[in-house]
Amino acid sequence: MRFQVGVDIAEVDRIAASLKKFGDRFKERNFSPAEIAYCDAKRQPEMHYAGRWAAKEAFLKAVGIGIMRGVPMSAMSITAPAGRTRPVLTVTAAAAAVLKARKVTAWDLNITHSRTLAVACAVAFFSE
């Protein structure tokens, strides 16, 4: 088994500008309904959107594909299950098929953010 790591950083102000400019269109194109509900319920939703954006980009880098090249942002959902210290990334069936074709068998990620930046690290594990 081999693995690859992906890292990404997102500027909270840049995500906030996209949220302001494109509103629901930006949200629905890049985030799942569960992510939208979670982020919108927070005091500073832009910070949480930025964290999820960074995590999705880090995951795509770990998998070895770029943004919008087979797995759109909306095909991934990052949740924060009760009792877990790290978020969980799930994918749609179509995205799972792309990952399976690339021999991705498992993944993990972590997110951190400040008022200005969100950083994420993802690891993708591959079968040989």
Domains in the chain, number: 1
Find how far residue 112's CA is from the centre of its chain.
12
CATH code of the domain covering residue 35? 3.90.470.20
Predicted local distance difference test score (pLDDT) of residue 68:
63
Global pTM? 0.93
pLDDT of residue 5: 97
Using DSSP's 3-state secondary structure scheme, residue 31 falls into: coil
Query: And the tokens for 95?
Result: 């995205």
Predicted local distance difference test score (pLDDT) of residue 57: 95
Tell me the three-class secondary structure of 42-91, residue by residue: CCCHHHHHHHHHHHHHHHHHHHCCCCCCCCCHHHEEEECCCCCCCCEEEE
Question: Which pLDDT value is given to residue 71?
Answer: 86
pLDDT at 11: 98
pLDDT by 10-residue block (mean), the chain, 128 residues:
95 97 95 95 96 96 80 91 86 93 95 95 94
Q: By residue range, what is the domain housing residue 39? A: 2-126
